[in-house]
Structure 1
């Protein structure tokens, strides 16, 4: 109890120094604690629980001795930029960019911290408006390309709104676009030309916007604190690799270059070179200058990687779709139309035609790292007699063995999903609808055409058996199974004459990965966890009983929109509670003020001690009119005023006044207000005292001491009452004053709740 009393006293002292502390009540304290917990749940706890629910050990089913390769697939980060919501004003646009980046930053950091993956692959659409921002020193598109892009609906016809288009562009761009004689062949320099997207409305941003988005992407997905969280790792030169002698002979400046490794733990492979239609465009809308800029920063669009004894083949499906895409008529483009765009699709087409070469080299190099002694030997540098058939046969055998490269299971990565019937069910894990619609529009197409999908599968099958296809673009999850007749690995023939190489029937599963961003039309974004385990020998064949070498798990991320809605609901609860508390406080204060303004009742004025008065020379109990708070301290008998004695009871709160002993006389003259009789009868007598406001400068302390409580007319003088109740001069509160005070009290209560909760919130988001 003593401690409680001390705490209360200290709090009262502090509240007098800082009046805001008077608003710290049980209600505001509970609301502050609830807000702090809700913010921690919405900014930390829900993220951790979502990621921890996908732990490897909760769904992997490998043998005990397995050491799988852990792969993470991320699709469509699609960083929000001015292209995403062009009509959204500041600061809403800035807040959208900030919170989408913060959302992906938190989840990507948790993925690396909790899962410790070996590889991370992106499935395209790194930016939302990457195709719209012009490269540096960009040239305008040529006449032939413009005509075809107009037919595809990518560009607006020049005859339509020509003047408005020219006004939307900068002056140099507008003048170049409107020239009629700009007609250089398709092999000329204008293949690197560029035209701003959106019919010119994004031309004002220039190339600076693309590099701003690149810095944002690097901060989220390439920063060492994101890739290697909670660890002190650094890049260091591991060893030197000699440059190719042929390159040096052809003018290469350096003779060696350094390979880099990561200290402090295993390195993590991050591949983001697969382009999406929002990065480079789609089909006829792909511009070479944009694609080259993308590849110069992220790497080759078509590539082969060997991870976990699996061959991952990435293809540039947006560019390849220029070979075959849907037209406004609903039909696929014809060969004559695709020939005009061979500069767009030809590189990817050639890469697929010769896919066995890069795949064979990558697989051989990977196996030779595990089995160095298995590296095949080619032709020996020696002179052989043409008649020595045995040596020639031996050399041919060695050469043929070198050509027969091993094949590993193939995983195909493409941004645009392969063709399927429009009503193909995507499975129960899809959030919107039940299938991917076959649709197309400005710079997008939901699926690759049926003809092109078949060509892709046939060409990639030459590198090995396709066991899985992963795609993005749709932003939602979709799991389908395709059925194709594919050739045997190692051959490019679809239906060769050799019976041993005839096409075979194969079922290929494809999973479309959910978008990693919460601003892409799905309430619960996600990513894919892939576990690869394929123990092989020196020839690349699986050791032991063949098992499925891949296991997949779809991992969902928090619903950021629901988090914001929960914050809003909590605010809707907080607002009326604080408002009700403020209203009750004001009315309670108003009621107490009214009681203070009113005179006390007889019941409240009763003293706990008895009072007496002299009547006819004898002591008797005082009448109710002589209780504390009456208008006079003296009373007179109505029958005999001369013999009446005033009350001798002194009020306990009355102000005592000291009197000099010399002022007393042995024989004082009796007065009208003094009792007669002996000295004992005069004991305790004090004259009536009137209270005067000390602020009144005209008041005289000496003049307030009276000798009787009756005026000259014999009436009872209320002005000389010892404890007269004087009403305060306070104006009653009107409704406007009460509303103002309620608003003030509510604002202070809101500050008491918002300051700790807001500080906690900004501290959390400041730390990511």
Structure 2
């Protein structure tokens, strides 16, 4: 086979391999992960015309970045980081919406710097960006629990004095409850709960302490439990003994008690007991830790619930790849109305299941970078061999000029045949030549480096176009 044709085949095959790789890892792998996740309805009776399980999509810690999230990065790197993370969040959100949920819950830490002091215009633009990323149909109601990155925790010098008012204006109340499918969903302001407890422990407590108006303590004391099962949403996980495991689905070690400026890993033991005794939840959903954790809390029996089951707590994976985990995720929760609760499962009213998404950073580091190195190596070798063959042919030509022997000089590997004809007249429309997926006429080049750079351009053109189109589609 001529060197020209062989070289062109190499460039074409590499381009095809790259196109298939980008399509798979930027789109189809997310489709497959979404198809592998299903609503946990198996313990319920089949849905009827009037009753069906209510499907609740629960997301934790999207924590979208802004230009100040990484102070050690320059403006370009900060912009690039935001672009990559935002696009991955859009993909993960798209997978979640593909499950067609009836409702959505965000368990806090919506924006990385939502608590920070900034101009109103900048904060409002931050909120608009959050809502553009997590855009859904108006028919899907969305509920929010407060996180420490939303309203702060403690007294940070950079915290905005308007952080609570801003949050309530854009995302709703701090402590509230709703009814869904004969279940009571309770949302508490966990960071505010920690602050109130700290104030009570710091200052002398009178006989009848006055809690914050509209605060978490006041909400807890005014709560009246009904007959419906309770699901508690707390951004900060509840207390558990140090070192207790979280199950095999977790990427790193157990959640351990700890605190610092603007954060606390777990609620205190006393605060946890108050929540368990008051709400007697069947399920607790928390965030903050960014990794998956499953833990069961002991719930004391009461006259109203003599055989109270233990309360299962799920700390949900962060949806973001910027939170120190390999695989982001979300939680699927199914709520069954009374008519769908099977006696065989003790009239179980709810069930949950995690959904883990692709390792986007792993795709970049373990797929794209090695394939780029392999591509560069193949193109360098091809052009080096072609250049060596060309130099040899030139020497043979000089030695045989007297015999009038015409030996053709080989062109670079990606060059086309000089008399190649295409349906499009490239001489009249040269701007089309990079987009014609076939041999393109080129003049001879002088060295292997130029040949390699042009071949690399041709190999990368279509994969990069597909990559950009995928970005644009998710945007």
Scaled by the length of structure 1, what TM-score is found?
0.52
2:233 corresponds in structure 1 to 413
SS in structure 1 at match of 2:249: coil
Q: Deviations over 1:98-135 (max 9, x none)?
A: 1111111122123223x11111101000011111134x
Task: Give 1:215's match in structure 2, choosing from 105, 128, 138.
Answer: 128
Distance 1:587 1:574, change over 3 A: same
Q: 1:506 & 1:324 partners in 2: Cα distance?
A: 27
State the shift of 1:271 in Å.
Answer: 1.2
Distance 1:23 1:79, change over 3 A: farther
Q: 1:63 & 1:543 partners in 2: Cα distance?
A: 6
Contact 2:67 2:75 in 1 (8 A): no
2:140 corresponds in structure 1 to 268
Q: 2:206 & 2:320 partners in 1: Cα distance?
A: 34
1:350 corresponds in structure 2 to 218
Unaligned runs of 5+ residues in structure 2 are 407-444
Q: 1:758 & 1:506 partners in 2: Cα distance?
A: 54
1:471 corresponds in structure 2 to 286
Task: Give 2:53's match in structure 1, choosing from 68, 73, 83.
Answer: 68
1:336 to 2:336 alignment: no
Q: 1:83 & 1:562 partners in 2: Cα distance?
A: 25
Contact 2:379 2:455 in 1 (8 A): yes
Task: Give 1:442's match in structure 2, choosing from 234, 243, 261.
Answer: 261
State the shift of 1:536 in Å.
Answer: 5.6
1:87 to 2:110 alignment: no
1:764 corresponds in structure 2 to 470
SS in structure 2 at match of 1:412: strand
2:273 corresponds in structure 1 to 454
1:43 corresponds in structure 2 to 26
SS in structure 1 at match of 2:195: coil
2:108 corresponds in structure 1 to 124
Q: 1:419 & 1:287 partners in 2: Cα distance?
A: 29
Q: 2:45 & 2:307 partners in 1: Cα distance?
A: 31
Task: Give 2:36's match in structure 1, choosing from 39, 53, 67.
Answer: 53
Distance 1:91 1:284, change over 3 A: closer
Q: 2:320 & 2:250 partners in 1: Cα distance?
A: 16
Q: 1:322 & 1:441 partners in 2: Cα distance?
A: 13
Q: Deviations over 1:680-700 (max 9, x none)?
A: xxxxxxxxxxxxxxxxxxxxx
1:520 to 2:323 alignment: yes
Q: 2:470 & 2:7 partners in 1: Cα distance?
A: 24
Q: 2:271 & 2:155 partners in 1: Cα distance?
A: 15
Give the number of aligned pairs: 427
Distance 1:585 1:345, change over 3 A: farther
Q: 2:301 & 2:215 partners in 1: Cα distance?
A: 23
Q: 1:345 & 1:421 partners in 2: Cα distance?
A: 32
Contact 1:321 1:345 in 2 (8 A): no
Q: Which has the higher contact order (CA 8 A, sep 6+)?
A: 2
State the shift of 1:453 in Å.
Answer: 1.0
Q: 2:320 & 2:59 partners in 1: Cα distance?
A: 10
Structure 1 segment 394-433 matched on structure 2, within 5 A: 406-433=226-253
Contact 1:51 1:110 in 2 (8 A): yes
SS in structure 2 at match of 1:485: coil
Q: 1:350 & 1:313 partners in 2: Cα distance?
A: 14
1:280 corresponds in structure 2 to 151
SS in structure 2 at match of 1:129: coil
SS in structure 1 at match of 2:62: coil
Distance 1:472 1:311, change over 3 A: same
Q: Deviations over 1:148-171 (max 9, x none)?
A: xxxxxxxxxxxxxxxxxxxxxxxx
Q: Deviations over 1:600-649 (max 9, x none)?
A: 799x89xxxxxxxxxxxxxxxxxxxxxxxxxxxxxxxxxxxxxxxxxxxx
1:97 to 2:82 alignment: yes
Higher Rg: 1
Contact 1:302 1:314 in 2 (8 A): yes
State the shift of 1:470 in Å.
Answer: 0.5
Task: Give 1:556's match in structure 2, choosing from 353, 356, 361.
Answer: 356
Task: Give 2:400's match in structure 1, choosing from 599, 617, 621.
Answer: 599
Contact 1:457 1:486 in 2 (8 A): no
2:450 corresponds in structure 1 to 744
Structure 1 segment 142-221 matched on structure 2, within 5 A: 206-221=119-134
Q: 2:470 & 2:84 partners in 1: Cα distance?
A: 13
Structure 1 segment 683-694 matched on structure 2, within 5 A: none
Q: 2:73 & 2:463 partners in 1: Cα distance?
A: 28
2:91 corresponds in structure 1 to 106
State the shift of 1:755 in Å.
Answer: 1.3
State the shift of 1:520 in Å.
Answer: 0.3
Q: Deviations over 1:58-105 (max 9, x none)?
A: x73422346211111000000012342111112111111111111111
Distance 1:514 1:345, change over 3 A: farther
SS in structure 1 at match of 2:185: strand
Distance 1:289 1:90, change over 3 A: closer
State the shift of 1:297 in Å.
Answer: 1.0
Structure 1 segment 725-740 matched on structure 2, within 5 A: none
Scaled by the length of structure 2, what TM-score is found?
0.83
SS in structure 2 at match of 1:79: coil
Q: Deviations over 1:250-303 (max 9, x none)?
A: xxxxxxxxxxxx6xxxx212112x110001011455866211210111111111
Distance 1:83 1:132, change over 3 A: same
Q: 2:467 & 2:396 partners in 1: Cα distance?
A: 44
Unaligned runs of 5+ residues in structure 1 are 1-7, 9-20, 135-205, 229-261, 327-331, 360-405, 490-500, 606-738
Q: 1:414 & 1:323 partners in 2: Cα distance?
A: 15
Q: 1:209 & 1:344 partners in 2: Cα distance?
A: 29
SS in structure 1 at match of 2:331: strand
Q: 2:5 & 2:197 partners in 1: Cα distance?
A: 74
Contact 2:282 2:309 in 1 (8 A): no
1:481 corresponds in structure 2 to 296
Contact 1:476 1:512 in 2 (8 A): yes
Q: 2:342 & 2:5 partners in 1: Cα distance?
A: 76
